[in-house]
Amino acid sequence: MRLLLAFLLTLTQAHAQGFAGLGTQADGFAVPTPNPNFTFPEDHGPHPDYRIEWWYLTATLQGEDGTDYGIQWTLFRSALTPETSSDWTAPQLFMGHAGLTTPDQHFSAERLARGGLGQAGVAANPFRAHIDDWQMASTATNGDAYNALHLSARGTDFAYALDLTANGPLIFHGQDGYSVKSAAGQASYYYSQPFYTVTGTLNLPLGDVPVTGTAWLDREWSSQPLSEDQNGWDWFSLQFEDGARMMAFALRSTDGSSFTSATWIEADGTTESYGDGRVTLTPLDTTEVAGRDIPTEWQLIFPERGIDIRTTPINAQSWMDTSFPYWEGPISFTGTHTGRGYLEMTGYE
């Protein structure tokens, strides 16, 4: 319990610097710089000299009867100092989030742990990220460790076990993986594997549900990814019916402006990055969620790609009731293009 309280206190103090401890000051930690040189499988693992890092997977799924579902599996690493140790004094803290969305219900769970004790951690080779009995582990027998994964998590009223196989390359956002987050130049290292096919089982209160679908894994680390006036973000991963994908986000500022970025991903993995102002994200309708108004329907306009779409949630009540609450759930979209995806929104308090 003392560890739990210390972890929550640390993150609460860091909240003054942004959502979930995302800092505006580096405070002795390493800072991302342009022209990154990624090395795999090492960069699939942790980077303790950076303040914040995550392994973030979402999946859009369907049952055998065509019912839509979505799951989230996330492991956050937050550092007190840019050091490592293998005992209870380890400065690396871990927070796990799991979510499962149905058209009628949304389930969420959270785990907290300190690194160095074996309760949580990440290994690069063979790749395995875990916290308690939740895990994301490579099952690949050759090639990149992310080519095949097994994923599992459970909460009070739900669980899931999924197998993922990648059928496309890793995708690097921004300038070859250097992703700028503000006009002041804050940035992160950011890459994804958005080409997973998924099979597995959801364990729900009414029984087990076999599912198939697609998944998207985000990897990101930094030490100061937010500027002083940024207080939240809206992040979209979109999968078009023709096989193309797209990532887009808007980081909101207190003056009402936003800093945007997007990555267009062809079906063969060819990418093109677009900087601030090239994509417009506009909320169209709100829903009362957990006592606050959340913009759950959006218009996304991307003139250079001829895109004008409207997104709709599978379940508007997809609220992650965790230490840092936020909205996260599967969506569909219509307009000039159709498809499915995921939406995350933070900072709506």
Q: What domains does the chain contain, in order, with CATH numbers?
A: 5-345 (2.40.370.10)
What are 27's two structure tokens? Answer: 């405070």
Collect all residues with Cβ–Cβ distance below 8 Å to 257 and sequence separation of at least 6: none
**Cα 226 to Cα 339: distance, rounded to the nearest angstrom:** 30
Please state whether the predicted TM-score (pTM) of the whole model is above 0.85: yes
Check residues 86 and 328 and name the one with the higher pLDDT: 328
What are 291's two structure tokens? Answer: 């006592």
pLDDT at residue number 7: 38
What are 271's two structure tokens? Answer: 């990418």
Q: How confident is the model at residue 185 (pLDDT cuts 50, 70, 90)?
A: confident
Mean pLDDT of the chain: 89
Residue pLDDT, tens place only, 124-162: 999 999 999 999 999 999 889 999 999 999 999 999 999
Check residues 4 and 343 and name the one with the higher pLDDT: 343
Check residues 319 and 226 and name the one with the higher pLDDT: 319
Eight-state DSSP code of residue 161: E
**Cα 143 to Cα 215: distance, rounded to the nearest angstrom:** 19
**Cα 81 to Cα 91: distance, rounded to the nearest angstrom:** 6
Collect all residues with Cβ–Cβ distance below 8 Å to 143 and sequence separation of at least 6: none
Check whether 82 has a pLDDT greater than 70.
no
Q: What's the whole-number mean pLDDT along residues 313-342?
A: 97
Q: Please, are residues 115 and 134 in contact by the beta-carbon 8 Å criterion?
A: no
Check whether 86 has a pLDDT greater than 80.
no
User: What is the percent of the chain where pLDDT is above 90?
Assistant: 76
Q: Which of 10-14, 40-44, 92-96, 286-290 has the lowest mean pLDDT?
A: 10-14
Q: Is 271 exposed, middle or buried (0-12, 13-18, 19+ CB in 10 A)?
A: middle
Collect all residues with Cβ–Cβ distance below 8 Å to 28 and sequence separation of at least 6: 81, 82
Q: How confident is the model at residue 115 (pLDDT cuts 50, 70, 90)?
A: confident
Residue pLDDT, tens place only, 254-268: 888 899 999 999 999
pLDDT at residue number 44: 97
Q: How confident is the model at residue 84 (pLDDT cuts 50, 70, 90)?
A: low
